Chains A and B, each alone.
Chain A
Amino acid sequence: MTENSSLHIPRPSARPGDEPDFSYLALSEAGAVRYPDPCTPAKDIEHLAGDLVRVLDDDGVAQGEWAPEIEPAQLLEALRLMLLTRQLDDRMHRMQRQGKISFYMQSIGEEAISVGQGMVFKPTDMMFPSYRNQALFIQRGTDIVDLMCQCLSNTRDMCKGRQMPIMYHDRKANMFSISGNLATQYPHAVGWAMASAIKGEDHVSSAWIGDGSTAEADFHYALTFAAVYQPPVILNVVNNQWAISTFQGFAGGQRRPFAARGQGLGIPGVRVDGNDLLAVYAVTRWAVERARNCGGPTLIEHVTYRGGAHSTSDDPSRYRPKDEWSAFPLGDPVKRLKQHLIKSGHWSDEQHEALNQELKETVTAAWKEAISYGTMNDAPSLDVRSMFDDVYKEVPERLKRQRQQLLDIKGAKS
């Protein structure tokens, strides 16, 4: 029945045992792409969806018209946040392995996106993150103790024990609640920006989605609404080359870049080197300026690589070459920013090592504090009665009765 099948089955460039092969990635030279005025009509800048905006060259020198003006102190702070995120990820990954938390997702290799973009948005702008934006929380001021407490489902967990690890939110930081259901945040961000426009405010919103998740209908609803109503929203696709075991070709990435997804609707798309903090910052600033000054959405594709496993439940050596990340042509965002700062005379290997050590200790101290608020197995524990809160604004009678039933059963048992 299928011997004569002509169905196209996308195949990644390399599987376990193969040489990594990124020849499929279209790259531009650092500095090669011109910087258009942010209010340029979408139809005149269509090439930005296929080019790759890059600022840092192989030697770590900032090149071309997109090179942003950023104070070295700001870049040093960005480096610190990226390193802190990596230390946090390392720690939490190990804590999952030791059974202290049930699950974790690292963001190794993608830190420049959250940090570089976070530097552009204002506190009053609203963020709709995915589960790999931990650095954006940190950048916007969420205490890493709070992130840890969420993963521990303990008495200081902002989700009150209701969500799996990494499904954070931070109301004060305007960080929306992360959903386990992929892509749902995309239309939310568009709606939030629509309300901003309706109210005549100049706040923008932004959402993040993975390459794989762009296949979901919610992604396409969001683009349509963004194109129709032109709200001030920055839509990001984090193309880290892989979903779980399927590469970006299974989301249509073999035909056209993700940045071009909006072009049929007239939404400008920009493809950026997601491992180049300067480029990410510059492109985001461009898009925010466009949103605030001339209105309308921008779709940004960040080209990056998922440096770690999909999650602690995953073993990527089953479906991709072990050393694929080291062959990734855009390198490691931390190393690249470090190289730039050393090159420009603001940083040294020794300082880097010392900072890393200091952050490691920061994370250790934070973990100690976090577990003092309880762990999955050790007191203090959340009050089980709280399980029935927040289903509705007020606890309905039915739920009050069920809560009592549970207490009776637990009481009878102990």
Chain B
Amino acid sequence: MRRILAILLENEAGSLSRIVGLFSQRAFNIESLTVAPTEDPSLSRITIATKGNDKILEQIVKQVNKLIDVIKITDLTERSHVERELLLIKVLAMSDKSRTEVKRITDIFRGAIIDIGKQTYTIELTGDAEKLNAFISTLANETEIIESVRSGCVGIARGEKALRVK
């Protein structure tokens, strides 16, 4: 089962490498990982999308928690949450027809064309993983994909629930 883990940790040299090292050392899966400082610059927040059964997930959560500079970890997928990922994608858009078609698909998915080259469009889209996948395969049917980059997902719990220090 796919899980999204949110981790709050000290924003210090080496803390990210400890997390990444832990996952590879214990053969835990990382589907995606994002990291950035929070509004409090002494803290970083990592979101990891991973796969595993309940037993593996329990170990992942405990092992991450055991790292000295981790303050908190939570499994967002346990409760209702919001999940977003950013996609930047460059596609071939040469003919009028393909330009119109790419524009139309982008509108339907509520994306935005953010750059135009002589023969290309660069599009930005946010959404959950499923939406991004659907967008990419729809585009692929219409034109050639030249390059794409995904941020990996970030997530936050719905309602009052929050991941913060105390």
Q: Do A and B come from one complex?
A: no
Which B residues are closer than 8 A to A by beta carbons? none
